[in-house]
Amino acid sequence: MGVFAALPEAQGLYDPAAEHDACGVAFVATLTGEPSHDIVAKALIALENLDHRGASGAEPDSGDGAGILIGVPDAFLRGVVDFDLPAAGSYAVGMGFLPVDPDEAAMVISAVEEIAAEEGLAVLGWREVPTDASIVGTTARSTMPTFRQLFLAPAPQAELPPAPDGSFDQMALERRVFCLRKRAEASCDVYFPSLSCRTLVYKGMLTTGQLHVFFPDLTDHRVASKV
């Protein structure tokens, strides 16, 4: 072990085996329970204030990663997709990182949709996510995938049983889309930072100040969240 990586010896309650790397994390939430864009805006400011927890090398506009987790912004999504969405909370959405080559991306999309059908899920549609790569360095741009948001709901022939109180069972849908996510990532050239009926993640190989510029969605006032 090099001198700059040396850890203290185990002593008292301290055990060097418990040491691990960690990202910087900020958490912002509303006390009213009402979603708002103000929470998202404050979270982006908090993210920029965590710049010291990120890293970049000789190319300052290629970061080692930054992202944000928000509640599913239902009103916003309804305004930007060209297909119908069921009631809020009864569909799942997630950002998919797909191959850049259109033919390869199409093959992955087809494979994901096959897995979805096997898991009793209906694909409502895919949304091309707007991005602004002009601010991103050459290194980050060289690894940039195609960004698509996948929308899912229970398939009509495989409807979920209701929750004990008779309401829609979100956790049953969460379990189903989790299986899809893991199967797709194991067998297809795709990565989902999240796939959920409750939360949505935007992330990339970005610096903290680039996230909201790279993903213009995040500055749209219809993007509202409680956390």
Measure Cα distances from 198 to 61, 71, 215 in Å: 32, 6, 20
CA distance 161 to 173: 10
Residue 20 identity: H
Tokens representing 20?
């691990």
CA distance 216 to 212: 6
Candidate list 23, 179, 188, 197, residue with the active-site label: 23
Q: Are the C-beta atoms of 89 and 197 separated by less than 8 Å?
A: yes
Question: CA 206, 212, 217, 223 torsion: positive or negative?
Answer: positive
Element (H, E) at 50: none
Let me know if 193 is exposed, middle or buried by CB neighbors in 10 A (0-12, 13-18, 19+).
Answer: middle
CA distance 212 to 217: 8
Whether residue 188 lies in the annotated active site: no
Beta strand 199-204 pairing with 66-71 = antiparallel
Tokens representing 72?
């599913």
Q: Are the C-beta atoms of 177 and 39 separated by less than 8 Å?
A: no
Residues annotated as catalytic are 23
